[in-house]
Chains A and B, each alone.
Chain A
Amino acid sequence: MFRSLWQYRHFIFSSIRGELRGRFARSRLGALWFILHPLAQSLIFSIVLAEVMRARMPNSDSTAAYPIYLLSGMAAWGLFSEILNRSIGIFIEQASAMKKIAFPRLCLPVIILGSAIINHVLLLAAIMIIFLFFGHLPGLAWLYLVPGMLLISAMAFGIGVFLGVLNVFVRDVAQFMSVFMQLWFWFTPIVYLRNVVPQQFQWLLALNPMTPLVGLYQDALLLNQGPQWTSLLPTFLVGGLAVLLSFTVFRRASPELVDAL
C-alpha cells in the first residue's frame, strides 16, 4: 500500500500543486481568500463576544488576547475540518477516475492531506504577521504546533477516510457529518474559554479529543506555553486508532469500493 503511494509521489505532488493553483486561479484576491475567510469569522466573533470574554482571558491586560485566542483555535479547527470534510466526499467526487484508471486509491486522501497542511502552514504564516500587528511576538512555543499539526492531521485523516469509505455505500454519512461537525465545533472551546463552561458539562469537553489539540494551539500562540503532554494522551490514542481503523476498513472495502460508485 505504501510502496505504491511512493511510486505515485509525482502524481501526488503535482495534484497538490494543482489543488492550490485551482483554488487561487482566476480570482482577483487569489491567495488572500483562504486567509480572509477565517479572519472574517474571527473578526465577527471578536466583535460580538469581545466584551464578554475579555474579562475571563488569562492575560486579560491585552485587548488582543481574545482575537489571538480565537484565531489560534480557528486555525487548528480549520485544519481538522478541512481534511475530514474533504476526505468524506473524495471517493465519490473522483468516482469516474477510480472506475476507469488503475491507480492506488489512497492517493486521493493523501493529496487532500498534503494540500490541507500546506494551506494550514500558509495560514499560520499569515496569522503570525497579524499577531505582529497586535504587538504579540511569536515565541519558541510555535514549535509545539508541529506535533499538534501532525496529531490533528492523523485524527482527521483517520476519521475522514473511514467515513469516506462508508459514505460510498451510505450517502447519509456526509449529510450527517456536516451537521455533526457544527455541533462538534461548538463543543470544542474555540470561541469560548474552557472555564466558562459549567462544572457539570466539563466532562464533555474532556471527552472531546479536539479539546487538548485546540488547547495546544491556544497555549502556544497566546501564552507561549507548551502543552501538558498527559492531556494529549487520549488524543494520541484516538488518532492512532482512527488511522488504524481507516486503513483496515479501506483495505477490506477496496474490492467493493468501485462497485458501489
Chain B
Amino acid sequence: MSVVLDVSHVGKSYATYRSNLQRFANWFGASIAPQSEFWANRDVSFQVKQGEAVALIGQNGAGKSTLLKMITGTVRPTVGSITVNGRVSAILELGLGFNPEFTGRQNIYQAGGLMGFSQQELTALMPSIEEFAEIGEFFDEPTRIYSSGMQARLAFALATAKCPDILIVDEVLSVGDSYFQHKSFDRIRQFKAQGASIILVTHSMGDVRALSDRVVLLDKGTILKDGRPDEVVDYYNAMVFEKENAKLAIRQRRETHGWAVTMSGDKRAALVSMKIRDAVTAEELKAVRVNQLIDIQSEIKIMEPIHRLVVGHMVKDRTGHVVWGTNTWHTKQVLTGLEAGQSVLVTFRMLCNLGPGSYGVTYNLVSTDTRAEDNYDSCDNYVVFDVINLDRPIFVGTTWLDAKITTEVIGK
C-alpha cells in the first residue's frame, strides 16, 4: 500500500525575541538568534499508509494539535518535512468560517469556499450535504438561530462532503447527540473502507479503539510509542496515572498469546498471584463456560505500611473494550491500616455472563477510586482466559443476556 503521508523528522519551535524589531529584521535578511525557543514538536517521524487509521493520543501540551496543524498546512514546521500525497480534509473545529447571518445553504458555499471547494462542486454536493445534516427546514434559515448541535451537524456534513485522501479529525466527534455521533463515526468508517486514511486526535480511548488500527502516543512533543491500539492505550493509561518520576517504572511486553501487558506502580503492595477458579470445585480454569460461576482470586503482599488499599478488576475484550470493571472503593470494602509483611486475599465471585471469546483481566492496587493518587501495583491483561459456549444456543456479542424467547403465530 502506498504512503499518503510522510512526516519526516519534523520539529516546530516557537521563538521569542528580545525585541520584535529583531524579528522584523530577520524578515529582511538579518539572522539574529531568538532569545528563547519553545519546541512544541521535536524529531517526529511517522508514515501513514493508504486506508490506515491512526490515532494521536497524549496529555495536554504533548504537541498533538501542533502536529495536526502542520499536517493540515496552517502551521509550517521549523525543521523536517511533511509530504502529503492527495487531498487533505481537516476538521479541527466545527463551524469555522460560518457567517451567522447566512442560511445553512449559503454557509455551505461560504465555508466550503474557504475549504477550497469550487462553486460548482458545492452545488453538486449540496443534496448529499443537506441529507446528511438532517436539519430539515432549518437548512434555509440563518445559522444564528441554530442550536450548537445543529451547527455541528451542518459543519460535519460539509467537512465530510467529499471523501478526501486524508481525513484529519481533532476531537470534534464529542458534539451532537449520540445518534449523530454514530452517524459521524459511520461516515469515517465508510471513508476508511473507500481507502481514505484517517488521522484522529482524541482523549476518548473508546474512540481510539473503535476507529484506529494504529496509535501514536506523543509526550512532550516527541513520539513515545507507536503501535497497536491496545498496547499503546494501556501504556498511555498507565502513564497518565504515574507520577513524573515514576514514569520509567512502566513496563510493557506483548505476551505470546498476543495480549499487551502493561505494568506500573511503586510496589508498596504487590500482586503475588491471580487465579481464575471454578467457584464450586476451586479448580483453576483457563477456559470458562458461558454462565459459569467463577472466582477471580488474587493474593497481595504488603511491602510497606499503607493506610488504604483498594483492589480493582477490569475485564477487557480482545480489542481493548472494557466489558466490566469495579473496585473495592465502590463496593465500600476498603482495607485500612495494613502493615508490611501482611498478605491479603481478595476474591471476586461472579457469574461469567460473557460471550465466547478471549478476555483479559486487569488489576489495580490503589488507595482511592482511581490510580491518580497512589498506584501500588497495576497491570493490564495480567491473566487471559477464554470463554466458550458449550451448553447455550449460539449467540454473538460479549454478553450473555439469557433471553427467554417465545413465539406465537397470529392469524390463520
A102 touches B90 (CB 8 A): yes
**Is A253 an interface residue when CB atoms closer than 8 A count as contact?**
yes
Prevailing SS type, chain A contact patch: helix
**Is B119 an interface residue when CB atoms closer than 8 A count as contact?**
yes
B101 touches A22 (CB 8 A): yes
CB-contacts of A234-253 with B (<8 A)? 249, 252-253
> Among B27, B93, B102, B114, which residue has its beta carbon within 8 angstroms of that of A11?
B114
A96 touches B93 (CB 8 A): yes
**Is A101 an interface residue when CB atoms closer than 8 A count as contact?**
yes
Which residues of B sit under 8 angstroms from A26, Cβ to Cβ?
101
Chain B's closest residue to A99 (CB) is B74
Assembled-state Cα–Cα distance A187/B357 (Å)? 84
B109 touches A14 (CB 8 A): yes
B116 touches A103 (CB 8 A): yes
Which residues of A sit under 8 angstroms from B20, Cβ to Cβ?
169-170
B: contact size bracket: 20 to 34
Chain B's closest residue to A172 (CB) is B20
**Is A8 an interface residue when CB atoms closer than 8 A count as contact?**
yes
Chain B 1-37, CB within 8 Å of chain A: the 1/0 string? 0000000000000110000100110011000000000
Which residues of B sit under 8 angstroms from A169, Cβ to Cβ?
20, 23-24
Question: Do A99 and B69 contact each other (CB < 8 Å), given the known contacts A21-B101, A252-B28?
Answer: yes
> Among B14, B101, B106, B119, which residue has its beta carbon within 8 angstroms of that of A259?
B14
Which residues of B sit under 8 angstroms from A96, Cβ to Cβ?
93, 96
Assembled-state Cα–Cα distance A15/B73 (Å)? 22
A8 touches B23 (CB 8 A): no
Question: Do A25 and B27 contact each other (CB < 8 Å), given the known contacts A102-B73, A102-B90, A255-B76?
Answer: no
**Is A61 an interface residue when CB atoms closer than 8 A count as contact?**
no
Chain B 251-290, CB within 8 Å of chain A: the 1/0 string? 0000000000000000000000000000000000000000
Question: Do A101 and B115 contact each other (CB < 8 Å), given the known contacts A15-B110, A96-B93?
Answer: yes
> Among B27, B28, B72, B118, which residue has its beta carbon within 8 angstroms of that of A102?
B72
Assembled-state Cα–Cα distance A254/B286 (Å)? 62
B27 touches A103 (CB 8 A): no
CB-contacts of B67-94 with A (<8 A)? 69, 72-76, 88, 90, 92-93
Chain B's closest residue to A105 (CB) is B74
Nearest-Cβ distance from residue A139 to partner chain B, whole angstroms: 39
**Is A10 an interface residue when CB atoms closer than 8 A count as contact?**
yes
Assembled-state Cα–Cα distance A11/B115 (Å)? 9
B99 touches A18 (CB 8 A): yes
Nearest-Cβ distance from residue A222 to partner chain B, whole angstroms: 38
A101 touches B110 (CB 8 A): no
Which residues of B sit under 8 angstroms from A98, Cβ to Cβ?
74
CB-contacts of A82-100 with B (<8 A)? 96-100
**Is A110 an interface residue when CB atoms closer than 8 A count as contact?**
no
Chain A's closest residue to B120 (CB) is A10
**Is A53 an interface residue when CB atoms closer than 8 A count as contact?**
no
Most chain A C-beta atoms within 10 Å of own C-beta, residue among B24, B28, B106, B114: B114
A97 touches B96 (CB 8 A): yes
**Is B176 an interface residue when CB atoms closer than 8 A count as contact?**
no
Which residues of A sit under 8 angstroms from B72, Cβ to Cβ?
100-102
Assembled-state Cα–Cα distance A8/B113 (Å)? 7
Most chain B C-beta atoms within 10 Å of own C-beta, residue among A8, A25, A252, A259: A259
**Is A43 an interface residue when CB atoms closer than 8 A count as contact?**
no
> Among A11, A99, A252, A253, which residue has its beta carbon within 8 angstroms of that of B113?
A11
Size of A's binding interface in residues, CB under 8 A: 29
Nearest-Cβ distance from residue A245 to partner chain B, whole angstroms: 11
Which residues of A sit under 8 angstroms from B74, Cβ to Cβ?
98-102, 258
> Among B24, B102, B115, which residue has its beta carbon within 8 angstroms of that of A166?
B24
Chain B 194-223, CB within 8 Å of chain A: the 1/0 string? 000000000000000000000000000000
Which residues of B sit under 8 angstroms from A258, Cβ to Cβ?
69, 74-75
Question: Do A18 and B96 contact each other (CB < 8 Å), given the known contacts A102-B90, A258-B74?
Answer: no
**Is A7 an interface residue when CB atoms closer than 8 A count as contact?**
yes
Assembled-state Cα–Cα distance A102/B89 (Å)? 10
Assembled-state Cα–Cα distance A15/B97 (Å)? 10
Which residues of B sit under 8 angstroms from A14, Cβ to Cβ?
106, 109-110, 113
Nearest-Cβ distance from residue A76 to partner chain B, whole angstroms: 29
Question: Do A101 and B101 contact each other (CB < 8 Å), given the known contacts A8-B113, A10-B119, A259-B14?
Answer: no
Which residues of A sit under 8 angstroms from B14, Cβ to Cβ?
259
Assembled-state Cα–Cα distance A101/B110 (Å)? 13
Which residues of A sit under 8 angstroms from B97, Cβ to Cβ?
97, 101
Assembled-state Cα–Cα distance A15/B106 (Å)? 10
B93 touches A100 (CB 8 A): yes
Known: A96-B93, A97-B114. 11 other contacts (CB 8 A): A10-B113, A11-B113, A21-B102, A99-B69, A100-B74, A101-B115, A102-B88, A249-B27, A258-B69, A259-B14, A259-B15
> Can you offer 19 A-B residue contacts whose CB atoms are under 8 A?
A10-B113, A11-B113, A99-B74, A99-B75, A99-B92, A100-B72, A100-B74, A100-B96, A102-B72, A166-B24, A169-B20, A169-B23, A252-B28, A253-B27, A255-B76, A256-B15, A256-B23, A258-B75, A259-B15
Interface residue ranges, A against B (CB under 8 Å): 7-8, 10-11, 14-15, 18, 21-22, 25-26, 96-103, 166, 169-170, 249, 252-253, 255-256, 258-259
Interface residue ranges, B against A (CB under 8 Å): 14-15, 20, 23-24, 27-28, 69, 72-76, 88, 90, 92-93, 96-97, 99, 101-102, 106, 109-110, 113-116, 118-119
